Amino acid sequence: MPPLFMRLRKPVERDGAEFYLFLVLLSYAASIALTRLFLELTGYPQLGNQTLHIAHVLWGGLLLFISATLMLIYANRWVYRLGAVLAGVGVGLFMDEVGKFITQTNDYFYPPAASIIYAFFLLVAIFYMEVRKPKQRDARLELYSALDAFEEVLERDLDPVERASLEERLHFIVENAEHYEYANLAEELLQFIQSRHIQLVERRPSRFERFFEFLTGIDERWLTRARLKAILLGGLSMFGIWAMFDLARWFLATGSPSPEYLIQVLLEQITDGRVTGVTGLAWLTGTKALKAACGLALLVGIGLWLAGREERALRLIFLVMLLFLTVVNLLEFYFEQFSTIVPAILQVVLLLFLIHYRRRFMSEVLGKKSNI
**Single pTM value for the model:** 0.83
Residue 355 has pLDDT above 60, yes or no: yes
82 has a pLDDT exceeding 60: yes
Tell me the Ramachandran region of residue 367: left when phi exceeds 0, alpha when psi lies from -120 to 50, beta otherwise. alpha
Residue-level pLDDT at 61: 92
Each residue's pLDDT tens digit, 289-346: 889 899 999 999 999 999 989 899 999 999 999 999 999 999 999 888 888 898 899 9
Concatenated DSSP letters for 123-188?
HHHHHHHHHHSPPPP-HHHHHHHHHHHTHHHHTT---HHHHHHHHHHHHHHHHH-SSHHHHHHHHH
Nearest-angstrom CA–CA distance, 333 and 347: 14
For the chain, how far is it from start to end, CA to CA, in angstroms?
57
Nearest Cα neighbor of 311 from 350, 357, 346 is: 357
pLDDT grade for 370, boundaries at 50, 70 and 90: very low
Residues 154-210 pLDDT 10s: 888 888 888 898 999 999 999 988 888 889 999 999 988 888 888 888 877 777 778
| pLDDT tens by residue, 8-50 | 677 888 888 899 999 999 999 999 999 998 888 888 887 777 7
Q: What is the pLDDT of residue 157?
A: 84
Q: What's the rounded Cα separation, in Å, for the pair 271 and 349?
A: 33
- Quick one: pLDDT at residue 8? 61
Separation between Cα atoms, residue 195 and residue 278, nearest integer Å: 77
User: Higher model confidence: residue 121 or residue 281?
Assistant: 121
Sign of the C-alpha dihedral, residues 335, 341, 342, 345?
positive
Span 254-268, pLDDT tens digits: 555 556 666 677 777
**Among 98-112, 222-236, 256-270, 321-335, where is mean pLDDT lowest?**
256-270
For residue 77, the model assigns a pLDDT of: 87
* Angle at CA of residue 176, ends 172 and 178, nearest 5°: 140
**pLDDT at 16 (0 to 100):** 86
What average pLDDT does the chain have? 84
The whole-angstrom separation of Cα 298 and Cα 316 is 8
Q: Which residues does 250 contact at the CB level (< 8 Å), separation at least 6?
A: 261, 262, 265, 285, 288
pLDDT recorded at residue 85: 95
Mean pLDDT throughout 114-133?
A: 91
pLDDT score for 372: 37
Q: What's the confidence (pLDDT) of residue 80?
A: 93
Task: Give me the pLDDT at residue 201, please.
Answer: 83
